C-alpha cells in the first residue's frame, strides 16, 4: 500500500460548504474544497498532495492541449443510513483508468495509489457528500500529459488529479435520442473503448446537430455500416424486447461501463433473460413499430438509469412507453440506489466504506 504519510495535506482555511444547497444541486457546477494531485516524473509517481481546489498553471506548449493525451474516470460517493460515506465500485474505476491509459501511452497508476488518494480526499471533504435522495458526490479522477513540447510523441511526464463535486440528477426528464447514421464515434482499432478526452470532443458536433432537432443525445452506430447499435453519448444503452434484456457487447468501440456491468449482473441474478450481442437498428425499429419494444434506457455513472422517451431514426420519431410504467427500469434503479447507499446488503462486494 501507498504510505498515506507521503500524501501531504494542506487543508483550506475558507471552506465553501455553505454554497451547497442539497435541494438545488446543478450537475458539475459546484466543486468541493480540495483536490488531489500527483506527478509522474523520472519514471515514478511523486509529490502526492491534497490542496485547496484551485486553478492550475500549465505551459502554452503543454502536450495535452495540442494532442489530447488524457484519460479520465467517473464514480460517485453516497451516504448510508448511518451517515457514513460509501463509494460504489472504485476498484473497477482504478482498473479501467489503466486500461484507458495504456492505449494513450500513459504509465500505469498503481491501484493502491488511486485508492489511498481517493480515500484521503473523500475523508477530508466528507461534508460535501449530500444525503438527500437522488444526490451524490461525483468523483472525477483524470491523468494528462505535462510535457512542454510541440511534437507528436508520447509525453514523458504526467499529472494525476482527483476533483469532486456534489450532484443531483444528470437528466431530469426522459431522454430523447437520435440514431446516428452519418457521423461515427469510434472504429475498430481506435480509442472507443477508452475513456479518452478526444472521444468526447469529437462527438460534440453531431450531438449539437441532434440537439438542434430536439434530441438530447445520440445513439451511435457502427462506423462501417451504421446498421448496428453501439452506445449513447453519455452512457451505454439497453433495450427490453419482449421478455429479453438486450445490449451491445463491449468491444474496441464500446466502453466497458461499470453501471452496465452492474445492471447485467443483477438482471441475471433475478433470472431475467439477458443477451449481449449485436443489435441491428432495423430490429429495434421493427420492435418499436410492433409494440414488442417494452423499455429503452441508458446506464452510466452520471446518468444512472436514464429512461429514453423517444427514438428518432431518419425522418421518423418513435414514442416509447411511459417511463412511470416501466417495471424493470424502476426496479433496477431502486436496487442500484439501495446497494449504493447501503440501504440493502451488498452481496456483490461493490461498495467501499471511506
Residue for grid cell 510535457:
147
Q: C-alpha cell of 241? A: 424486447
> Mean pLDDT over residues 155-161, rounded?
98
- For residue 312, list its beta bridge partners: 178, 317
- At residue 234 the predicted structure's pLDDT band, cuts being 50, 70 and 90, is confident
> Mean pLDDT over residues 22-46, rounded?
95
Domain 4-168 identical in fold to domain 175-340: no
pTM of the model: 0.95
Is residue 256 pLDDT above 60, yes or no? yes
DSSP 259: H
- At residue 172 the predicted structure's pLDDT band, cuts being 50, 70 and 90, is confident
Q: Could you give the residue ranges of the DSSP H alpha helices within 157-257?
A: 197-211
> Mean pLDDT over residues 105-110, rounded?
98
**Rounded (10°) angle between helices 258-269 and 327-340:** 110
Residue for grid cell 473503448:
193
Q: Where are the domains of the chain?
A: 4-168, 175-340
Is residue 1 pLDDT above 80, yes or no? no
* Residue 3 confidence (pLDDT): 60
Cβ atoms 139, 78 nearer than 8 A: no
* Residue 2 confidence (pLDDT): 57
> Mean pLDDT over residues 55-68, rounded?
97
- At residue 169 the predicted structure's pLDDT band, cuts being 50, 70 and 90, is confident
CATH number of 175-340: 3.20.10.10
Measured CA to CA, the distance from residue 50 to residue 34 in angstroms comes to 7
Range scoring the smallest mean pLDDT among 177-186, 259-268, 316-325? 316-325
With the CA atoms of 11, 16, 17 and 19 taken in that order, what torsion angle do they form, in degrees rounded to the nearest 10?
Answer: -170
Is residue 221 pLDDT above 80, yes or no? yes
Measured CA to CA, the distance from residue 131 to residue 133 in angstroms comes to 6
> Mean pLDDT over residues 233-243, rounded?
95
- For residue 178, list its beta bridge partners: 218, 312
Cβ atoms 234, 298 nearer than 8 A: yes
* Residue 242 confidence (pLDDT): 96
- Fold of domain 4-168: D-amino Acid Aminotransferase; Chain A, domain 1 (3.30.470)
Amino acid at each position: 500500500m501507498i504510505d498515506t504519510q507521503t500524501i501531504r495535506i494542506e487543508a483550506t482555511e475558507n471552506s465553501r460548504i455553505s454554497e451547497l444547497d442539497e435541494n438545488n444541486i446543478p450537475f458539475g457546477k459546484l466543486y468541493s474544497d480540495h483536490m488531489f494531485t500527483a506527478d509522474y516524473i523520472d519514471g515514478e509517481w511523486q509529490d502526492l498532495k491534497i490542496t485547496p481546489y484551485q486553478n492550475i498553471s500549465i505551459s502554452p506548449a503543454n502536450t495535452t492541449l495540442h494532442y489530447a493525451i488524457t484519460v479520465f474516470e467517473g464514480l460517485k460517493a453516497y451516504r448510508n443510513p448511518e451517515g457514513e460515506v460509501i463509494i460504489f465500485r472504485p476498484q473497477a474505476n482504478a482498473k479501467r483508468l489503466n486500461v484507458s491509459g495504456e492505449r494513450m501511452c500513459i504509465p500505469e497508476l498503481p491501484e493502491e495509489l488511486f485508492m489511498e488518494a481517493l480515500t484521503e480526499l473523500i475523508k477530508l471533504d466528507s461534508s460535501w457528500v449530500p444525503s438527500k435522495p437522488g444526490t451524490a458526490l461525483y468523483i472525477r479522477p483524470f491523468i494528462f500529459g505535462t510535457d512542454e513540447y510541440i511534437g507528436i510523441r508520447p509525453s514523458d511526464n504526467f499529472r494525476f488529479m482527483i476533483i469532486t463535486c456534489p450532484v443531483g440528477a444528470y437528466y431530469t426528464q426522459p431522454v430523447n435520442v437520435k440514431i446516428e447514421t452519418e457521423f461515427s464515434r469510434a472504429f475498430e482499432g481506435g480509442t472507443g473503448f477508452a475513456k479518452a478526452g478526444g472521444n468526447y470532443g469529437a462527438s460534440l458536433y453531431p450531438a449539437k446537430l441532434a440537439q438542434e432537432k430536439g434530441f438530447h443525445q445520440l445513439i451511435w452506430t457502427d462506423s462501417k455500416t451504421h446498421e448496428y447499435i453501439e452506445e449513447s453519448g453519455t452512457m451505454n444503452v439497453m433495450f427490453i424486447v419482449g421478455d429479453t434484456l438486450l445490449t451491445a457487447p463491449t468491444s474496441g468501440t464500446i466502453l466497458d461501463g461499470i453501471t452496465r456491468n452492474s445492471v447485467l449482473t443483477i438482471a441475471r441474478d433475478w433470472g431475467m433473460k439477458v443477451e449481449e450481442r449485436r443489435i441491428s437498428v432495423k430490429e429495434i425499429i421493427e420492435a418499436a413499430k410492433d409494440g414488442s419494444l417494452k423499455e429503452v434506457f441508458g446506464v452510466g455513472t452520471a446518468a444512472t438509469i436514464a429512461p429514453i422517451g423517444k427514438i428518432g431514426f431518419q425522418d421518423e420519431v418513435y414514442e416509447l412507453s411511459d417511463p412511470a410504467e416501466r417495471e424493470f427500469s424502476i426496479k433496477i434503479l431502486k436496487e442500484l440506489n439501495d446497494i449504493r447507499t447501503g440501504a440493502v446488503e451488498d452481496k456483490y462486494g461493490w461498495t467501499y466504506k471511506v
